[in-house]
């Protein structure tokens, strides 16, 4: 089956064909590095990684560009409030530049832990101020901007189809509904350049033809994607929260500057949900990948959990679902490791797997095929080779895994048995006390749906 992908612009799954023969330009909106990425953010990057892997499975050479937003992202869609980098600096006491470097490194660490393919290019907003200024100047020459006391704004009234990506209801976007109007002419107008506040000095600011200040958030992606992929490329990705504002504004700018909607396909991953709603930094209640590893979860178990739901469906996160993903990954690893190498992949299973991932990245159904192979009566070497054929898409590093070999001392095993009984009896205080005793003895306890697991801390035996 040939590749078909859902395009948010057309609101349909349609056949994918590269604009330039076997080469694909892929731009993915990266992190705003004022804080750690949360696992909801990371779900979007897993979806984009799978997309790239499926494109490569279909023989495309992918030029994959990911931006780092280290300036210009304000805390409000109304172009009000402080820059998120300045906010991070105020929160931590470090400079905005130090904050950007710190959280960029943390993001890269998460990226590697999830086995995401390295992009062709990372590009930082602060390294491309000249390109953004040139882009704004072209918008000005074309008559799409106006000035207010606090910046240069894009005039969305010039475009009858503004917001088509999000199917925006312009009549319903009255001041006070989505954003405050202030000096803006229209509620949907947005800043392309912000002036530094009078009487204060920002840590990140530059001279421009309009005055000293900094770029708006949206202009960076339009300018950098056009530079590295051209003003008309194959696929632009991001989270579903980008549709109504960020990506609609990227399209508006690029139409005004280059006459294109920037990308042939617009693709969006859906939210990770937990009990309080969608995961977000704004309420200060979010989970990092490190939060999961500290409870004994392998980062690739979180990747497996993301693979278990279609990228266009919301994924409900809780500890039970995460433990189930860890248990499934453990079973798959053990099965794979028990099979000998040297076989040939089963062509029928490989064709079915490819058909599923080619139908708008239907990885959950592809995972079901993985488990069919595991449970099949195919020769063991054939099963291993068939799973090997799936791995370039799954990215679970199955061939790298080795079962940990360690002996559990008798006194540790006895404590673990006591703790297991306390859990069965719902004596949670006693279970916690025994966990601490095990920890003092050098052993970590991880609770899962299939029971508790012991592992040595720092190689303790």
The 10s digit of each residue's pLDDT in 212-243 is: 999 999 999 999 999 999 999 999 999 999 99
What pLDDT is stored for residue 38 in this prediction?
94
The answer to whether residue 279 is domain-embedded is no
Q: Between 401 and 328, whose confidence is greater? A: 328
Helix (H, G, I), strand (E, B) or coil at 20: strand
Residues 28 and 160 in one domain: yes
Q: Is residue 280 part of a domain?
A: no
Closest CA to 308 of 357, 392, 269, 364: 364
Comparison of pLDDT for 176 and 397, the residue scoring more: 397
- Claim to verify: residue 156 and residue 211 sit in the same structural domain: yes
- Full DSSP string of 78-120: TS-S-BHHHHHHHHHSS-HHHHHHHHHHHHHHHHHHTTPPPPS
The answer as to whether 274 is a domain residue is no
pLDDT of 336 higher than 70:
yes
Structural domain ending residue among the three candidates 216, 241, 269: 269
Looking at 240-279, which runs of residues are DSSP E strands? 262-269, 272-274, 277-278
Q: Are residues 238 and 387 in the same domain?
A: no
- Domain match, 183 and 298 both: no
Cα–Cα distance measured from residue 302 to residue 46, given in angstroms and rounded to the nearest whole number? 10
pLDDT tier at 166, thresholds 50, 70, 90? very high
Residue 74 has pLDDT above 80, yes or no: yes
Q: Give the CA-trace dihedral at 65, 251, 249, 204, to 10 degrees.
A: 40
- Whole-number pLDDT of residue 307: 98
Mean pLDDT of 305-323: 95
Q: How far apart are CA 110 and CA 293, in angstroms?
A: 11
Query: Looking at the domain assignment, is residue 436 inside a domain?
Result: yes
Indicate if the pLDDT at residue 77 is higher than 70: no
Tell me the CATH number at 155: 3.40.50.620
Residues 396, 414: one domain? no
Distance of CA 128 to the CA centre of its chain: 23
pLDDT at residue number 176: 41
How far is it, in rounded angstroms, from Cα 5 to Cα 265?
8
Domain assignment present for 277? no
Q: Is residue 203 part of a domain?
A: yes
Q: Clarify whether residues 262 and 300 are in a common domain.
A: no
Residue 191: phi and psi, rounded to 5, are -80, 135
Of 242, 269, 296, the residue at which a domain comes to its end is: 269
Residues 322, 265, single domain; the answer is no
Specify the pLDDT at position 229.
98
Check pLDDT > 70 for residue 286: yes
Integer Cα distance of 29 and 27 in angstroms: 7
Q: What is the mean pLDDT of the chain?
A: 91
User: Do 220 and 92 reside in the same domain of the chain?
Assistant: yes
Cα end-to-end distance, the chain, whole Å = 52
The tens digit of pLDDT for each residue in 167-211 reads 988 665 544 444 457 788 998 999 999 999 887 778 999 999 999
User: Is pLDDT at 284 greater than 80 in this prediction?
Assistant: no
Taking CA atoms, 240 is separated from 44, 158, 237, 365, in Å, by 9, 26, 9, 22
Residue 461 falls inside a structural domain: no
Q: What is the pTM of this model?
A: 0.86
- Is 275 inside any structural domain? no
**What's the pLDDT score for residue 461?**
40
Please give the average per-residue pLDDT across 334-348, as a whole number.
95
HEC profile of 161-225: CCCHHHCCCHHHCCCCCCCCCCCCCCCCCEEEEEECCCCCCCCCCECCCCCCEEECHHHHHHHHH
Domain that residue 332 falls in = 285-400
Q: Judge if 303 and 228 occupy the same domain.
A: no
Q: pLDDT value at position 279?
A: 65
**Residue 452 pLDDT grade (very low, low, confident, very high; cuts 50, 70, 90):** confident
Closest CA to 270 of 309, 305, 231: 309
- Residue 304 and residue 202 share a domain: no
Residue 277's pLDDT band (cuts 50, 70, 90): low
Structural domains of the chain, count: 3
Provide φ and ψ at 241, rounded to 5°. Answer: -70, -10
Pairing between strand 151-154 and 190-195? antiparallel
Residues 222 and 346 in one domain: no
Domain endpoint, select from 269, 297, 316: 269
Q: Label residue 431 by pLDDT band (50, 70, 90).
A: confident
Contact 121, 65 (CB under 8 A): yes
Q: How far, in Å, CA of 326 to CA of 364, rounded?
A: 16
Residues 330 and 260 both lie in one domain: no
């Amino acid at each position: 089956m040939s590749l078909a992908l859902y395009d948010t612009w057309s609101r349909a799954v349609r056949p994918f064909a590269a604009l330039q023969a076997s080469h694909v330009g892929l731009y993915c909106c990266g992190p705003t590095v004022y804080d750690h990425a949360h696992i909801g953010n990371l779900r979007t990057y897993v979806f984009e990684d799978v997309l790239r892997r499926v494109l490569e499975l279909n023989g495309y050479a992918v030029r994959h560009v990911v931006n780092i937003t280290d300036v210009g992202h304000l805390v409000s869609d109304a172009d009000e409030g402080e820059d998120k980098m300045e906010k991070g600096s105020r929160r931590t006491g470090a400079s905005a530049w130090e904050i950007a470097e710190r959280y960029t490194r943390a993001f890269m660490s998460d990226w590697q832990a999830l086995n995401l393919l390295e992009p062709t290019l990372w590009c930082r907003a602060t390294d491309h101020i000249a390109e953004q200024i040139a882009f704004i100047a072209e918008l000005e020459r074309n008559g799409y901007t106006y000035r207010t006391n606090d910046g240069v704004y894009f005039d969305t009234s010039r475009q009858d189809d503004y917001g088509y990506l999000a199917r925006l209801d312009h009549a319903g976007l009255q001041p006070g509904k989505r954003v405050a109007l202030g000096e803006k002419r229209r509620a949907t107008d947005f800043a392309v350049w912000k002036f530094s506040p009078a009487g204060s000095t920002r840590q990140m600011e530059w001279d421009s033809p309009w005055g000293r200040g900094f770029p708006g958030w949206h202009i960076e992606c339009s300018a950098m994607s056009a530079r590295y992929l051209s003003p008309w490329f194959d696929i632009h990705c991001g989270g579903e929260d980008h549709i109504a504002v960020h990506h609609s504004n990227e399209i508006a700018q690029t139409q005004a500057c280059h006459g294109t909607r920037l990308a042939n396909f617009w693709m969006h991953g859906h939210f990770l949900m937990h009990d309080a709603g969608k995961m977000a930094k704004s309420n200060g209640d979010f989970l990092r990948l490190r939060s999961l590893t500290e409870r004994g979860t392998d980062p690739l178990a979180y990747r497996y959990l993301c693979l278990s739901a279609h990228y266009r469906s919301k994924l409900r996160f809780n500890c039970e679902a995460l433990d189930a993903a860890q248990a499934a990954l453990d079973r798959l690893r053990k099965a794979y490791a028990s099979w000998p190498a040297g076989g040939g992949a089963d062509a029928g299973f490989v064709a079915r797997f490819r058909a599923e991932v080619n139908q708008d990245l239907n990885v959950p159904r592809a995972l079901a095929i993985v488990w069919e192979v595991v449970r099949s009566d195919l020769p063991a070497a054939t099963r291993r080779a068939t799973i090997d054929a799936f791995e370039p898409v799954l990215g679970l590093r199955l061939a790298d895994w080795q079962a940990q070999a360690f002996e559990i001392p008798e006194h540790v095993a006895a404590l673990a048995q006591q703790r297991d009984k306390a859990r069965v009896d719902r004596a949670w205080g006693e279970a916690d006390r025994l966990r601490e005793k095990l920890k003092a003895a050098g052993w970590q306890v991880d609770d899962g749906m299939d029971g508790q697991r012991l592992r040595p801390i720092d190689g303790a035996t």
